[in-house]
Structure 1
């Protein structure tokens, strides 16, 4: 019988390229490319990271290029909102009117806060309509991403399109409801005059402010969905502090409140936009009932909220729909 002499380990040959053989660790083999070299190679051939966050100017341009989608999405949402109700779109007007009727009974009759407030019904209804726009815009913002995860995960588009479209939906609903508000104002002796034109810039500033908050809430709720359950309580507290049912001017005059409290009530952004709309539409709501520098306050709040909310939302652009 012939016996084979074992081959020493250092003399064994290996298949080239096999990962478990000494040839794979041959010092003469070329080193794998570094991550920097791979990145440079990808850039040279026009490759980009999927889902990467674009620069802020590029992001704004992407949003503008999708303005038709934003408008169509908002209109479709508005049309479908009451599609299952028998009265349909009439609920766009009936909801704030019913809220105003409840507030009138509770605050105007039972609590008698209408004392000293001329034209209390136009005063109240204007406040309710304006507040409803802000509160509903913020609430829909909390569901902008979490409520459209299928769309977010299936398609590539700037995610800010969703909260902006939902804010536009609420603006469309408010414009529709303002027709009913004008009819009510006619019934209580309020007729068109030059000051009504001030409602347009006031409404535009309020829209910027509300959209900015909707963008911020969309990012927060996308990470923490429970925020959408908490927001109704926060908004209800904010409403009571915004003079929707009572006059902030009368409260600050009749009671000896600390100066800091007076400033906080007067600078409250929701109250600022409500007062501007009342000043524009209700003749008895004169300029002396407005807080000082009211237009500067309204403009500052609008720019701060929109710019801050937009940047805050953009910073998490690549995270939406993941996890």
Structure 2
């Protein structure tokens, strides 16, 4: 009887609205909650120095164990270009009818490598850095963006070798070289957007990283890296839809823009229709769309 009398009355649990009001009154928020999109952009901008420093550190460490060190940043795409030249240019004869084929090929390989490496690095941006994601609080988009920035820095190293090749094969310096800057900016936006999409997929399904090399290799073969899309589509033996797909392929668009900027024998007539508008459209679609798509899953990265 005394136990019944001494039992304190049951206190009902506070309602969710009461908890929300209490948290708001004391300035509390849910740990790890996704911020609004404008706030997320502000947080990302505030960590711009971290993004650039992280990208530079990754680039420096990439070949730190190799005796030739940073020379591999230039040698790797050059060796790839040499292999492609022997297989496609010599054995398959794709160099016939393509003026300045070596500059044509090397430019395509360098620009394609930028996209390929950015997407592959983005696929592993979250799943390969779980320790960092779980230990520190920062906008997770900083990781795929920093990896794309790392690949852009590596491309700039390669561009020095490309300039030497262009001059060595008689391609003169021209005012059109300035067009390489906006082309690279648009390609960076596209690469970063696709990388963020792949980072979200890779965070949930790490096996995607094993599949991507096959997808990217197929994409490379239809992007005109080793052969001229213009010459193929000019023969009128392809269905119209195939021609449109080949000409609007984003990888091919950015490769063609870089070739047009750097190689004087690559004329405007060889570019697909409305090429700059297409390049801008892909950059905005992938860059903005990929960023929003990645942001929507911000709360899930590093959990589970």
Same fold (TM over 0.5): yes
TM-score, with normalisation over the residues of structure 1?
A: 0.92
| Counterparts of 1:179 and 1:31, CA distance in 2 | 71
In the TM superposition, residue 291 of structure 1 has moved relative to its aligned partner by 0.2
In the TM superposition, residue 24 of structure 1 has moved relative to its aligned partner by 3.8
Q: Which residue matches 1:277? A: 258
In the TM superposition, residue 32 of structure 1 has moved relative to its aligned partner by 3.2
Q: Which residue matches 2:163? A: 182
Shift in CA distance, 176/16, structure 1 to aligned 2, threshold 3 Å: farther
1:157 corresponds, among 138, 142, 149, to: 138
Per mean C-alpha deviation after superposition, the further-off stretch among 249-258 and 175-184 is 249-258
In the TM superposition, residue 15 of structure 1 has moved relative to its aligned partner by 5.8
TM-score, with normalisation over the residues of structure 2?
A: 0.98
1:45 corresponds, among 13, 26, 44, to: 26
| Counterparts of 2:199 and 2:63, CA distance in 1 | 23
2:3 corresponds, among 14, 17, 37, to: 14
1:251 corresponds, among 206, 226, 232, to: 232
| Counterparts of 1:180 and 1:121, CA distance in 2 | 13
Q: Which residue matches 1:313? A: 294
| Counterparts of 2:271 and 2:12, CA distance in 1 | 73
Q: What CA deviation, in whole Å up to 9, does each residue of 1:262-320 have, x standing for no partner?
A: 00000000000000000000110000000000000000000000011101110010111
User: Which runs of 5 or more structure 1 residues have no equivalent in the other structure?
Assistant: 1-11
What SS does the corresponding residue of 1:302 show, helix, strand or coil? Answer: helix
Q: What CA deviation, in whole Å up to 9, does each residue of 1:169-226 have, x standing for no partner?
A: 0000001110000000010011211110000000100000000011110000000000
RMSD of aligned residue pairs (Cα, Å) = 1.1
What SS does the corresponding residue of 2:3 show, helix, strand or coil? Answer: coil
| Counterparts of 1:218 and 1:38, CA distance in 2 | 35
In the TM superposition, residue 255 of structure 1 has moved relative to its aligned partner by 4.6
1:234 corresponds, among 209, 215, 231, to: 215
What SS does the corresponding residue of 1:144 show, helix, strand or coil? Answer: coil
| Counterparts of 1:33 and 1:203, CA distance in 2 | 56
Residue 302 of structure 1 pairs with residue 291 of structure 2: no
Query: Is this contact kept in 2: 1:16–1:24, CA < 8 A?
Result: no
User: Which runs of 5 or more structure 2 residues have no equivalent in the other structure?
Assistant: none
| Counterparts of 1:17 and 1:115, CA distance in 2 | 98
Q: Which residue matches 1:5? A: none
